[in-house]
């Protein structure tokens, strides 16, 4: 009897779900061309240019229209980094005793020192200009973390301050949350823009979007650099031979 009731319940639910999806009319010309109902993509593209003055539509969707989802992504990254750090913290070596290290020559060390500043500059450029060109906070943060990875592999005694990384990560996260909540305070939604949007294709355009991506860039860079430093200083299994 229970199986019959479950089957009937699933049949009813399935019927109404199918009815809803059939009624939406995906791919129907009348649905797409209707003046009353526009596809979501058209609304995003139109508001990105007209209301936010942002050239990169992906940026406006990620940081503004679906900003709460981005907050979840940043939170997941933070929790992952915290979990990994807590697991490996007691297994860390001191600097100069890393389990993973290049046998670096003077050419490698000199080249790494030469490339490190341009890598940081490129990462900063990517997240500062995320609303104007392909890129953004996540991509720029990863580039910066790659620069620190290069230095950690090239120099045996190169260290990274976990206190400094924690301060940067915390300040960036607080900035993200505060700006998002100010959208509520101005009668809107989380991460809704409340600043002047400027002129399309100008650096100072997009309202809060460049500020958010700068905060995300610093946050991602600090978190990934901390993970890299912790992993490279992990103690290997000590076996007596």
pLDDT value for 28: 52
Instruction: Say which residue the tokens 């050239």 belong to.
Output: 55
Q: Which pair of structure tokens corresponds to residue 13?
A: 């639910």
Q: Lowest mean pLDDT: which of 47-51, 93-97, 114-118, 161-165?
A: 93-97
Residue 44 inside a domain? The answer is no
Residue 237 inside a domain? The answer is no
Sign of the CA dihedral running 94, 95, 100, 105:
negative
Overall average pLDDT of the 97-109 stretch: 63
The backbone region for 204, taken as left when phi is positive above 0, alpha when psi lies in -120 to 50, beta otherwise, is: beta
Cα separation, 109 vs 132, in Å, equals 35
Overall average pLDDT of the 82-99 stretch: 62
Percentage, residues of the chain above pLDDT 70 = 81
- The residues, any chain, with a CB within 8 Å of residue 71's CB and separated by 6 or more, are 176, 177, 180, 190, 191
Domain that includes residue 126, residue range: 51-232
Number of domains in the chain: 1
Most confident range, picked from 90-104, 138-152, 168-182: 138-152
Residue 140 inside a domain? The answer is yes
Residue 32 inside a domain? The answer is no
pLDDT > 60? residue 35: no
Residue 86 binned pLDDT confidence (cut-offs 50, 70, 90) = confident
pLDDT > 80? residue 188: no
Q: Which backbone phi and psi does 22 adopt, to 5 degrees? A: -65, -35
- The residues, any chain, with a CB within 8 Å of residue 2's CB and separated by 6 or more, are none
pLDDT > 70? residue 94: no
Residue 19 inside a domain? The answer is no
Averaged pLDDT score across all residues of the chain = 80
Kindly provide the residue ranges of all beta strands, DSSP E only, lying in the chain, ordered along the sequence: none
pLDDT value for 24: 62
Residue 238 inside a domain? The answer is no
pLDDT value for 116: 95
Residue 239 binned pLDDT confidence (cut-offs 50, 70, 90) = very low
Most confident range, picked from 23-27, 73-77, 139-143, 192-196: 139-143
pTM check: above 0.85 = no
Q: For residue 223, give the nearest of 115, 118, 78 by alpha carbon.
A: 78
Most confident range, picked from 100-109, 145-154, 157-166: 145-154
pLDDT value for 146: 94
Cα separation, 216 vs 131, in Å, equals 13
Cα separation, 240 vs 42, in Å, equals 66
Cα separation, 77 vs 230, in Å, equals 16
Q: Lowest mean pLDDT: which of 19-28, 42-51, 179-188, 203-212?
A: 19-28
Overall average pLDDT of the 147-170 stretch: 87
pLDDT value for 40: 73
Percentage, residues of the chain above pLDDT 90 = 17
Residue 192 inside a domain? The answer is yes
Cα separation, 132 vs 116, in Å, equals 25
Cα separation, 79 vs 21, in Å, equals 36
Residue 145 inside a domain? The answer is yes
Higher-confidence residue of 73 and 36: namely 73
């Amino acid at each position: 009897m229970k199986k019959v009731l479950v089957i009937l319940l699933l049949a009813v639910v399935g019927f109404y779900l199918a009815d809803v999806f059939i009624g939406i009319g995906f791919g129907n010309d009348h649905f797409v061309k209707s003046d009353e109902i526009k596809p979501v993509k058209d609304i995003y593209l139109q508001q990105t240019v007209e209301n936010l003055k942002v050239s990169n539509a992906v940026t406006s969707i990620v940081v503004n229209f679906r900003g709460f989802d981005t907050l979840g992504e940043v939170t997941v990254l933070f929790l992952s980094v915290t979990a990994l750090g807590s697991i490996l913290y007691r297994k860390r070596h001191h600097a100069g005793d890393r389990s993973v290290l290049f046998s670096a020559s003077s050419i490698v060390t000199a080249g790494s020192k030469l490339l490190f500043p341009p890598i940081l500059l490129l990462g900063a450029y990517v997240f500062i200009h995320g609303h104007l060109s392909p890129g953004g906070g996540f991509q720029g943060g990863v580039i910066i973390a790659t620069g620190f990875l290069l230095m950690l592999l090239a120099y045996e005694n190169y260290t990274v301050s976990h206190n400094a990384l924690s301060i940067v990560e915390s300040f960036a996260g607080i900035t993200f949350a505060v700006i998002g909540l100010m959208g509520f305070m101005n009668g809107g939604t989380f991460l809704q823009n409340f600043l002047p949007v400027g002129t399309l294709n100008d650096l100072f355009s997009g309202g809060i979007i460049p500020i958010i991506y700068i905060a995300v860039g610093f946050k991602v860079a600090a978190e990934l650099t901390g993970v890299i430093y912790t992993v490279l200083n992990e103690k290997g299994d000590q076996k007596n031979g």
